[in-house]
Amino acid sequence: MNTRTVTAALLAAAALTLTACEGTDTSADTQSKPKPTQSSAPAKPAGLTAKQAAAKLADATGVTDLGNPSDNTSACSNKAAGKTPNANDCAQLITTDTVSIYEYKTPAVAAHWVKAMKVNGDWRQVGRFALAWTARDQKLTSDERRAELVAALKKATASEA
């Protein structure tokens, strides 16, 4: 099993764990909690997609691509995995040898994931995107290159703000 497959599986498990529903509390002395509303089909955000962002980041850093780009959206989206959609699902995930690019519906959802996933490695938010360097090859990406990718994504998404 290669590192990319293992990483995708671990990310899927982490995503499902973080988006899992709370269990039912059956104790008589607790107040009922309002249930969060979930749309059955989260709307795709307008603007740059993670796939387009990967191409722009490659171009901005002077390379053809960021190394073996692949769409792993099902690792961070219940809908893409054929399950009930969740408000915290990603819209798209492009994984490369250099960086993983997570696209979310809103900056608030991106901030939620960056905060939750920082324990697993270097995650940085740029608007409604999160850039992560958690896979083996990605961990070899220098701090300078990471900063360059963040700056390039900020520039590419400036018109969305």
When mean pLDDT is compared over 3-7, 83-87, 124-128, the highest value belongs to: 124-128
**pLDDT tens for each residue of 106-130:** 999 999 999 999 999 999 999 999 9
Q: Which pTM was predicted?
A: 0.73
C-alpha to C-alpha distance for 132 and 153, rounded to whole angstroms? 13
- Residues 6 or more apart whose CB falls under 8 angstroms from that of 92 comprise 49, 50, 51, 71, 73, 102, 103
pLDDT greater at residue 6 or residue 79: 79
**What mean pLDDT is predicted for residues 9-13?**
45
